[in-house]
Structure 1
Amino acid sequence: MKLSEYLKTLERGGKSAFARKIGAHASDLSDWCSGDRSIPAHYCPAIERASNGSVSRIDCRPNDWQVYWPELAQSSTSTREVGND
């Protein structure tokens, strides 16, 4: 799920609370959701945790997540191989 979609599910004031939870500012969230700025990689694990996995690190950085978290590529390959039995 995209971060922007997840934030729409939060109650009033949830965006600010979410920003505080991940150590960012609400304006950062706005910039990331609008596409004005990419989500910095160091925020992605915190976003994944704070959203209880609804927004994954892969969702946050769909074009280069493999560079930052190659172990996710290895685990998804293993999962695909197991599923093909």
Structure 2
Amino acid sequence: MELREYIRPLEDEDLEAFALRVGTTVGHLRNVAYGTRVASAALARQIEIETGGQVPVSVTRPKDWHLIWDGCLNQVVNERAIVGQSGAAPNGAPAETVKLGEARHAS
């Protein structure tokens, strides 16, 4: 989904709240949505997170999204490896241990 499609139906207060959650202003968000500005890598990633993946990085950063995504994937792998070393996730959920080149769930 395009960012403009995502924000179009939002009421003003919902749009303001969304902009705050992704760390920008409504004006800049609209500029990104309508193509007059390019989202920073951080903003593009935050938009993807806050939209639950409905507006992926590949939409807001079409020319270099793969570089951003690869960096995010490496961060997730590193975070999961750290959680796996401690034996439990901070929120009490089952720990998932991920090592480079191998994924397995702790039992």
Normalised by the length of structure 1, the TM-score is 0.72
* Structure with larger RCO (C-alpha < 8 A, sep 6+): 1
Q: Is the 8 A contact 1:7 1:14 kept in 2?
A: no
CA shift digits 1:5-64 (9 cap, x unpaired) = 100232342211100011111111111122111111111121111111111111111122
**Cross-structure match for 2:92:** none
Aligned AA for 2:54?
Answer: S
Mapped pair 1:20 → 2:20? yes
Question: Partner residue of 1:61?
Answer: 61
| Identical-pair percentage | 32
Greater Cα radius of gyration, structure 1 or 2: 2
Over the aligned positions, Cα root-mean-square deviation in angstroms equals 1.8
CA distance in 2, matches of 1:40, 1:71: 14
- Identify, as 1 or 2, the structure richer in strand: 2
SS of the counterpart of 1:69? Answer: helix
Unpaired segments ≥5 residues, structure 2: 73-107
Q: How many residues align?
A: 72
TM-score (norm 2): 0.59
